[in-house]
Structure 1
Amino acid sequence: MFSITRKICQWLIPFVSALTLAQCEKSPLENPTEDNNSETMQYVLPYYPDDYSSIASWSNRNRWNLANVHDPSVAYYKGYYYMYGTDASYGNAHEGHGHFQGKRSTDLVNWEWVAGPFYDAPTWVADSLNAIRSRMGLEAIPEDDIQYGYWAPVVRRVNVGGQEILRMYYSIVIDNYIKTEKSNTQTNFDGSWTERAFIGMCESTDPAGAVWTDKGFVTTSSSDRGLNYNRSSLSDWNAYFYYNAIDPTYIVTPEGKHYLIHGSWHSGFALLEVDAITGKPLNKLGEPYADSVAELTARYGKRIGTRRASSRWQASEAPEIIYKDGYYYLFMAYDALDVPYNTRVVRSENIDGPYYDINGRNFTNGEGDCYPIVTHPYKFNLGYGWVGISHCAIFKKENTDEWFYMSQGRLPVNVGGNPYSNAIMMGHVRRIVWCPASPNEPDNLWPITLPERYAAVPDYGTITKDSLVGTWEHIKLEYTYGRQNTATALTLNADGTMSGALTGSWSYDVAKKQLKLGNVIVCVEREVDWEATPRRVTLVYAGTEKNLNATYWGKKVK
Structure 2
Amino acid sequence: MTLLEKLQPALTTGPETWGARHAHDPTVVRDDDGTYYLFSTDAVANSANIPAGVHVRSSPDLLEWTYRGTALDGVPEPAFEWSGAKGLWAPEVVRWPSAAGENRWHMYYSASTFGSSTSAIGLAVADKLTGPWEDRGLVVRTLAGRDSQNAIDAAVTFDRNGDPWLTYGSFFSGIHTLRLNPETGMAQSPEDLGTCIARRSPDVDRAIEGAFIQYRAEDDRYVLFVSYDSLFNTYNVRVAVAEEITGPYRDVNGADMTDVDTAPHAVGTKVLGSYRFDGDTSWLAPGHNSILTVPTGESGVEEQFMVHHVRFAEDATQHIVQLRRVFTTAKGWPVVSPQPYAGPERETLASAAGITGIWRVVRFAPGSPEPVEAQPMTVHDDGAVTSAGEPCRASLTLSGDGVDAHLDAVVFGSWDFSRNRSALSFSGIDEHGVVYSGTQGA
Cross-structure match for 1:21: none
The equivalent residue for 1:257 is 163
Structure 2: gaps of 5 or more residues: 398-404
Q: Deviations over 1:474-510 (max 9, x none)?
A: 1111134431111111245xxx6xxxxxxxx865445
The CA deviation at 1:449 is: 0.5
| 1:375-454 → structure 2 map (5 Å cutoff) | 375-398=272-295, 399-412=300-313, 415=314, 421-436=315-330, 444-454=331-341
Match of 2:267 among 367, 370, 378: 370
Of 361, 365, 371 in structure 2, the residue corresponding to residue 484 of structure 1 is 371
> % of aligned pairs identical?
24
**Structure 2 residue aligned with 1:204, among 126, 132, 136?**
126
Distance 1:195 1:316 in 2: 14
Superimposed CA distance per residue, residues 214-243 of structure 1 (whole angstroms, 9 cap, x where no aligned partner): 1111111146xxxxx4xxxxxxxxxx6410
CA distance in 2, matches of 1:74, 1:338: 22
Structure 1 residue 377, shift from structure 2 partner: 0.6
Tell me, in whole angstroms, the C-alpha distance in 2 between the residues paired with 1:127 and 1:424: 31
Is residue 105–residue 112 contact of structure 1 (8 Å, CA) maintained in 2? yes
Given that 1:197 and 1:246 are in contact with CA atoms closer than 8 Å, whether structure 2 keeps it comes out as yes
Distance change (3 Å), C-alpha of 1:64 and 1:96: closer
Indicate conservation of the 8 Å contact 2:407/2:431, yes or no.
no
The structure with the largest alpha-carbon Rg is 1
2-structure distance, mates of 1:66, 1:483: 25
1:99 to 1:471, Cα distance in 2 relative to 1, 3 A? same
Match of 1:330 among 224, 227, 245: 224
**What one-letter code is carried by the residue in structure 1 that aligns with 2:429?**
T
SS at match of 1:89: coil
Contact residue 4 and residue 312 of structure 2 kept, 8 A: no
Tell me the equivalent position of 2:422: 537
CA–CA distance in structure 1, aligned partners of residues 360 and 25 of structure 2: 29
Structure (1/2) with the larger helix percentage: 1
Aligned residue in 1 for 2:107: 168
SS at match of 2:9: helix
- Picking from 175, 194, 200, the partner of 1:307 is 200
**How far, CA to CA, are the matches of 2:177 and 2:153 in structure 1?**
12
Aligned equivalents of 1:542, 1:195: Cα separation in 2: 37
Q: Distance in 1 between matches of 2:3 and 2:102?
A: 37
TM-score after normalising by structure 2: 0.87
Give the count of matched residue pairs. Answer: 418
Instruction: Report the alpha carbon displacement of residue 199 of structure 1 after superposing the two structures with TM.
Output: 0.6
2:10 corresponds to: 55
Q: Contact 1:77–1:166 at 8 Å: present in 2 too?
A: no
Asked whether the equivalents of residues 523 and 543 of structure 1 are also in contact (C-alpha less than 8 Å), the reply is yes
Tell me which residue corresponds to 1:182. Answer: none
Counterpart check, 1:317 vs 2:238: no
- In terms of fraction of residues, the more strand-rich structure is 2
Residue in 1 that maps onto 2:394: 514
> In angstroms, what is the RMSD of aligned CA positions?
2.6
Instruction: State the Cα distance separating 1:515 from its structure 2 match.
Output: 4.8
2-structure distance, mates of 1:280, 1:58: 39
2-structure distance, mates of 1:72, 1:357 = 24
Does the 8 Å CA contact 2:174/2:199 hold for their aligned counterparts?
yes
TM-score normalised to structure 1 length: 0.70
- Is the 1:526–1:537 Cα contact (8 Å) retained in structure 2? yes
The answer to whether residue 11 in structure 2 is matched with residue 73 in structure 1 is no
Cα displacement (A) at 1:457: 2.9
Which whole-Å CA distance do the structure 1 matches of 2:97 and 2:284 have between them?
Answer: 37
After superposition, residues 273-284 of structure 1 pair within 5 angstroms as 273-284=179-190
Please tell me the residue identity of whatever aligns with 2:96: V
Per-residue Cα deviation, 1:336-368 (whole angstroms, up to 9, x for no partner): 012210000111111111111111111145464
SS of residue paired to 1:52: helix
Instruction: Give the Å deviation of 1:552.
Output: 0.8
